[in-house]
Amino acid sequence: MSKQEAPVKKNDTVEVIIEDLTHDGAGVAKLNGYALFIPKALPGEKIKAKVVKVKKGYGFGRVLEIVEESKDRVNAPCPIFNQCGGCQLQHMSYEAQLRYKQKQVKDVLERIGKITDVPVHPTLGMSEPWRYRNKAQVPVGEEEGGLIAGFYQERSHRIIDMDECLIQHEENDKVIQKVKELARDVGIRGYDEERHRGTLRHVVARYGKRTGDIMVVLITRGQELPHKNKLIEAIRESIPNIKSIVQNINSKRTNVIFGEKTVILWGDEYIYDFIGDIKFAISARSFYQVNPEQTKVLYDKALDYAALTGTETVIDAYCGIGTISLFLAQNARHVYGVEIVPEAISDAKRNAKLNGFTNVDFAVGEAEKVIPWWHAQGIRPDVIVVDPPRKGCDDKLLGTILAMKPKRVVYVSCNPATLARDLRVLEDGGYKTQEVQPVDMFPWTTHVECISQLVLKND
C-alpha cells in the first residue's frame, strides 16, 4: 500500500489486533501497514474501534468494544480515569507496566541510538505504587457559580472537579479539598482562563513524607487576595502540621503555573523532607522529586554507577537543588554542581550547609560554559553526572564531556528518546554504555526514568 493512501475513512468501524503501545500509552494496530493509534487499548487485544482522525501515514481510533481482552487488563480504580489526563495506564496491571517501560527504553535505544548490545535491566518498581506524590498542583475554576478544583480533562483545559487522586499522598488530597472548601466559604472567586478574570488560579500542596510538614501555595491572578486574613486563619485552624502558607502572583495569560513574585503569608519559607539520610529544605518553587521513595532507588543506583571510593572529583551538571550532588558527596572527595537557575543554586548551598557537607561547591550558569572554566582552573573530574531536562544534554556539554574524558559518565534521563540520541554521541566519542536501569518514578503513567553507566574506552 502506498503511504499516501489510508485504508480507512473517518467514522469507519474496524476490528483490529493491538500489536504494541506508543510512548504515550496508546495501542498500535496495523491495517495493511497503516498505523492506527487507539488509546486505552492493550497489546494482544482484539478491538472494535471507531476511526476518529485520518492522516496520510497514520490515524487515530476510539475503543468501541473489546472483543478479546488482554490478561494484563485491570479495572482502573480511579472514578475519573477516563476523563482525567493525569494517568494513562490504570487499565494495565502494574507488572505489565514495568515490562512495557523496560521494552520502551530498549526499543528507543535500538531505534534512535543504534545501541543493541547493552543490557536494559527490568524496571525497578514500587511495592506500593499508589499515593506516592508529595506535591499536588491543582487548577481552580468555577462551575455554575461554585469554586471547583481538579485536573484538566485529557487534551483540554476543562477542569474535572475531584475529591481525591489515587497517586497523590492522602495528606495532599485532604489539603486541596480543605483549601477549596475554605476559599469557597470566604467568597474567593476561581480563575476564568478565557476571560482572564477571578482570583485563585491554582492551589499547590507540598508534603514532607518523613517530617509531616505541609505547605500551601495559593497562586493568584493579582496581588490582591480578598478575605486574606480570614482564609489564613481558617487554613491554620483546619490543617494540622501546616508549616507554611504562601501566595504566588501570576498575572500573565499563560499556562505556566507559577509567577515571578512569591510572598510568605504565614509561617516558614521552607518545609523539610529527607531522601535517605539527607535533609532538604523545600520552598514554594523548589524543584524536588515528587516520589522520594523511588528517588532514593534512583540515586542509590547513580552512586553505584559512579563507583566512588572517596578519592574522586565529581561534576554534577544540571544539579538543581543539589539532590544528586549531596548523595555523591557522601562517597566522593569533592563534588562540583552547576545549574542555570539561580534560586536552585541558593537552595543547593542551603541544603549542603543543612547537612554539614563541606566537600561540595555550586555555581550558577550554563554547564557547557562553567565546566570548561572549571577545567581551565585545573579541575579534572573522574566522574561526570548529568540529569538534563526532557530535551536532553546541550551539544556543547556533550562536546565538553568528550574533551575532558572523565573515566565514567552517569546519565540520568527522564526521556528515553533524548537519552538514546546522547548515548550515541558519547559512544561515537569514545565511551561504552555498560548498562541501563529503568526506574518507575511515576506508576500508572507512561513516564519512565532511567540511569545509564558509561565508561571511557582505552585509547
Asked if 379 and 372 touch (Cβ cutoff 8 Å), the reply is: no
The cell for 276 is 535517605
Asked if 187 and 146 touch (Cβ cutoff 8 Å), the reply is: no
* DSSP code of residue 355: T
Residue 127 three-state SS: coil
Asked if 115 and 419 touch (Cβ cutoff 8 Å), the reply is: no
* DSSP code of residue 86: S
**Residues 84, 320: Cα–Cα separation, whole Å:** 30
β-pair type (242-249, 214-220): parallel
DSSP assignment of 153-204: BTTS--EEE-S--TTB-HHHHHHHHHHHHHHHHHTPPBPBTTTTB-SEEEEE
Grid cell 485532604 — which residue?
A: 174
Considering 87, 319, 414, 450, which one is annotated as catalytic? 414
**Residues 280, 292: Cα–Cα separation, whole Å:** 11
Neighbours of 216 (CB within 10 A): 27
**Residues 196, 2: Cα–Cα separation, whole Å:** 48
**Residues 450, 88: Cα–Cα separation, whole Å:** 19
Q: At residue 214, what are phi and psi to the nearest 5 degrees?
A: -125, 135
| Amino acid identity, position 350 | R
**Residues 447, 24: Cα–Cα separation, whole Å:** 8
Which residues does 142 contact at the CB level (< 8 Å), separation at least 6?
148, 189, 190, 192, 198
Neighbours of 14 (CB within 10 A): 18
The closest alpha carbon to 426, from 413, 409, 449, belongs to: 409
**Residues 356, 241: Cα–Cα separation, whole Å:** 26
78 is catalytic: no
Which residues does 233 contact at the CB level (< 8 Å), separation at least 6?
none
Alpha helices in 355-440 (DSSP H): 367-376, 395-404, 416-428
**Residues 416, 410: Cα–Cα separation, whole Å:** 15
Give me the active site residues, please.
414
